Structure 1
Amino acid sequence: MGEVCNVSSASNKSHARFMEWENLYPLRKPQHLRLHPGPILELLRVSGTSQTSAQVAKIHSTRWLEDGFKLDEKVFHNDCVNLTHNMGAFLYDDLLAVVSLRYQTIHILQIRDSGNLVDVRAIGAYCREDDELFINSSSQLAGNRGDLVDNGTNHDQPNSNNSFLSGIKQRLLSFIFREIWSEETDQTQRVQCLKKKFYFHFQDYVDLVILKVQFLDRHHLLIKFGSVDVGASRNTDQLPAFFAVYNMETTEIVAFYQNAADELYLLFERFCDHFHATSINSMYMNFISSHSNNIHALEQLKSMKNKATSISQFVKKMLSSLPLNCQSMSPSPYFDQSLFRFDEKLISATDRPRQSTDHPIRFNSRRQGDILKFKIKTGPEFGSADGRSKKYSHFLFHPVWPLALSFIQPSLFLPPSAVNIHFRR
């Protein structure tokens, strides 16, 4: 029997809750667990109430586990950074990527051992460090020549800030053009193919905006492009979107896929672990169960695929989770599908709210005849007189210890009304 402490933020009262941990399966620990001491990053939205309105976003580097001392700060003024579930930021080792939705820029920061946040590069309007200097010097040279030849008649021409596409957009269009060009060898067929696939959709490609980004490794980014409607819609799998793999060192697009591409889905199905981009300093993150390393998860995925009425819609739905949110998967051994069977409609390794239930969540053993090993109960739904209104809950498990937090929310848009602490006695 385990004891659960429940703290209700609405009533500021402590309640006792209980959770059964019957014949708890031994924790599976990695062979080597290296703790990487370093600063804690805190993402704050100082002003602005939505991800589409102007706001001030701050990133604090703090010595939180010791004394909470703030080591450094990075401020994005009058900007739009989506901080919900870390969607606008991705941390990989000592590198942090922050997506500015308003200025369409990917900021790459490095977190030093001292806690200082250092600007490494900004990908958007410019891709290389000297792009801005080169364009400004070229514009000044062209302007001087125009004054000499035309005696100032070019003053009505648009300035350099508005006459060029952004650096990342130019590289994207160039890659798409070359890919379509190489599809055909016959010159006549090549021209027709370019008209149909490139020039006809040229404005659609130009209007694409950066929505989300994640690291694949220290040199490659997976960038999601889409229309403004994709960024504002909740059903993003129903709208067209594109994924690009970008090499930060060479500033080149090396791959480009639509969100219904079978090739990208097969890569995601077979090599899902590579999309998690686990840190070399967090060995326990390599124990996350996925359909590329666990036969039970793969069978569940194939079952969902077989039940789907439309394969293309299924592919879009699966790829809508890309790029993955940073630290959104729990490496807890309780989510190891080779050890336990549980209802993923109620709980899973993915950190996102799910509809709560009055019934305990059962964890059954796969290796001992599907018998009950333990169950988690989130408690009665607080603030509901009739018990018929929907409640939502999500769980946060410790990577290796038998400890978990559950957060009960009255709706998806309100803060938790209760927090449960689950642990084994």
Structure 2
Amino acid sequence: MEDFQSDDESENLPFRRRKIPNENLTDRIMKLQYQRHRKHTHLAKTHKLYQCVFPNLTISDVDYPQVYGRKFSPDGRHLVSFSMDLKTLVIYKYNGAASAEHLLTKIKSDVNLINQESYCNYEKLRMVLFSAFFTKKFEITLVKDRGGLNRECSVFSTDSRYVIVCHHCTHSQMYATQCFRENFYQNNETLAPSSRTPVGEYNFEVVDLYTGTKTFSLQFDSERIPIAHQQGIYLYRNKLGIICLQHQKILLYHFENGILTECDQIGVDTPIEHSNLEPFQSPYFGTTRQAIFTFLAERGKMEAENSKDPFENMKMLGTSQCLSKMKLWRFQFLDEDKLFIKFIHEDVVSARVVDNVMRFAVFSVYSISARRILYMFDGASSTLLKAFEENCDDFRNAELNGKEVLYPSSMACCIDSRMNYLRQKASTATDERESNKRYLGQIPMPCQNFSYSPYLDAKLFSYDEQFISNFERPKPVSSAPLNFLSRPSLLKKFQIKTGPEPDQSPANEKKLVAFNFHPFEPFAMSLQRCGVHFVLNFHIRHNSVK
């Protein structure tokens, strides 16, 4: 007792003692019911209840059907999966976080591969656990011939009723030669065929999750679309955009009731009829390239008038040759009328070079209605980087179920995420232009690639972002359990264990794990690859675990 200081002695300390808030569930519920709160803070107080209810039990090596579990729908009701042969889309109904509680009455701790006794005793549990949480609703065959579904491409509508998936097959270069006059070279921006950039047939399918029917199909032939992780497809509310790298254009569709209706096309004008010229021999620029030169000419004219220097208007000629080699690369919606487009050198689009981050690039804000460029930035612009750091939610398109996400864990609204970003930026400090290029290389951002699970909210929990983050990408397997600390108190709340220990798998094998969190319930899945097979782990809430 003598080691502790009294209140009078603590007042003389040069620092203030950290006050640990009460994180008891009953206490917080009572405070929500009976205490008065500041205006617009009730939902934030409710969100903190997740610090008291969390997945505290891990069951490893769960038996599962021969499917790839891709993603939960934004409303959390369905799980979209792909069959092993990538021909069929399987839709499961999620039964709730407490649907398997009757099977876990005798379990007091984690069930993993290391504890052989528990592994044998609860082998039957592993066989029925998947069916307890998920019930198969529909099985829709979308691919009947060659090709297969891309399991890294799935976009949900804002009402969580429809999902857009894609399957494609690659054409040979002989096919490209045969289609030379037909549909391969559609304009003068078309890229030359190459083995590094094969073209193919892409089919986008719209599936109704409630009825299990295919409502619409969209086909592209002799095209190249980056569909992995939704890099070439973007859905903003009821507008869908698809970028076609081969023919250098962006197609815009109106998405309503599961039907896609083409409403606009950006990049190439309607071909002008020439008597002796093919479309790919047209001497005219496309709309986007023409918009770039128009913007530079108008800006040069304005600067010449302000500085009264007639040669100021000629500076754009120094970059005209370089800009003539720029091609469409990535895009995203900023709102329903504005596109954020990235142009990069044609060597990157044609895959002649590997490092696309350090290549010369141009960012532009394009108005769809005015059909002109509003702003233009260099690939190492400090102004654009500052705008991205302060308004990154506008780039991430933080929307869910048609409403803005109330608690986006981004550096624009979370001081903890911002401090982590600044520490990372300071640790990799190099030349300012190179640093700006690397951090601007992540925009435009893909569509629906961030998890909005409250357990990945940096305002609520602290965790090692090297092994798990809200950006949905496979991460390296951690040798130790992933600890989640309460952000206010820094006390350990729960931990997540993934798959077998490193000594049970080859040392030279690359070990990756993909996490799939439910949008709002204490339930998560982790899929780890071990050799030629996969290990599925469930991270659930169980009241008997201390």
Asked whether the two chains share a fold, i.e. TM above 0.5, the reply is yes
Q: Structure 1 residue 95 and structure 2 residue 239: aligned? A: yes
Q: Structure 1 residue 283 and structure 2 residue 403: aligned? A: yes
1:339-374 residue CA offsets vs partner (Å, 9 max, x unmatched): 111111111111112222221111111112x11111
State how far apart, in whole Å, the 2-side matches of 1:385 and 1:3 are: 20
Corresponding residue for 1:417?
534
State how far apart, in whole Å, the 1-side matches of 2:512 and 2:333 are: 30
Give 1:224 deviation, angstroms.
0.7
Q: Secondary structure at the match of 1:184?
A: helix
Give 1:259 deviation, angstroms.
1.5
1:221-269 residue CA offsets vs partner (Å, 9 max, x unmatched): 0011001333435533211111111110110100111120001011001
Corresponding residue for 1:377?
497
- Matching residue within 315, 336, 341 for 1:218: 336
State how far apart, in whole Å, the 1-side matches of 2:530 and 2:297 are: 50
Q: Mapping of 1:219-368 within 5 angstroms?
A: 219-231=337-349, 232=351, 233-279=353-399, 281-283=401-403, 285-307=405-427, 308-368=429-489
State percent identity of aligned pairs: 26
Q: Mapping of 1:90-169 within 5 angstroms?
A: 90-113=234-257, 115-126=258-269, 132=270, 135-136=272-273, 161-169=281-289
Alignment-mate amino acid for residue 373 of structure 1: K
Corresponding residue for 2:168?
45
State how far apart, in whole Å, the 2-side matches of 1:51 and 1:118 are: 32
Q: Does the CA contact (< 8 Å) of 2:304 and 2:313 recur in 1?
A: no
Q: Does the CA contact (< 8 Å) of 1:6 and 1:16 recur in 2?
A: no
Q: Does the CA contact (< 8 Å) of 1:53 and 1:80 recur in 2?
A: yes
Q: Does the CA contact (< 8 Å) of 2:168 and 2:202 recur in 1?
A: yes
1:160–1:2 Cα change, 3 Å? closer
TM-score of the two chains, using structure 1 as the length reference: 0.80
Alignment-mate amino acid for residue 418 of structure 1: V
Alignment-mate amino acid for residue 59 of structure 2: V
1:92-150 residue CA offsets vs partner (Å, 9 max, x unmatched): 1111110100011101112221x111111111112xxxxx27x44xx6xxx7xxxxxxx
1:194–1:216 Cα change, 3 Å? same
1:183–1:46 Cα change, 3 Å? same
1:61-111 residue CA offsets vs partner (Å, 9 max, x unmatched): 111x23421111000111001111110101111111101000111011122
Corresponding residue for 1:129?
none
Deviates more, 1:181-190 or 1:388-397: 181-190
Corresponding residue for 1:36?
159
Q: Secondary structure at the match of 2:330?
A: strand
1:183–1:282 Cα change, 3 Å? same
Corresponding residue for 1:6?
61
1:288-307 residue CA offsets vs partner (Å, 9 max, x unmatched): 21111011111122222333
Give 1:389 deviation, angstroms.
2.5
Corresponding residue for 1:170?
290
State how far apart, in whole Å, the 1-side matches of 2:403 and 2:164 are: 20
Q: Secondary structure at the match of 1:400?
A: coil
Q: Does the CA contact (< 8 Å) of 1:88 and 1:212 recur in 2?
A: yes
1:416–1:282 Cα change, 3 Å? farther
Across the aligned residues of Structure 1 and Structure 2, the Cα RMSD in angstroms comes to 3.2
Q: Does the CA contact (< 8 Å) of 1:305 and 1:311 recur in 2?
A: no
Give 1:166 deviation, angstroms.
0.7
Deviates more, 1:253-262 or 1:347-356: 347-356
State how far apart, in whole Å, the 1-side matches of 2:535 and 2:321 are: 49
Alignment-mate amino acid for residue 224 of structure 1: K
Q: Does the CA contact (< 8 Å) of 1:4 and 1:421 recur in 2?
A: yes
Q: Does the CA contact (< 8 Å) of 1:9 and 1:417 recur in 2?
A: no
State how far apart, in whole Å, the 2-side matches of 1:8 and 1:381 are: 19
1:398–1:212 Cα change, 3 Å? same
- Matching residue within 216, 224, 230 for 1:86: 230
* Gap runs ≥5 in structure 1: 19-33, 127-131, 144-154
State how far apart, in whole Å, the 2-side matches of 1:312 and 1:417 are: 42
Aligned length: 378
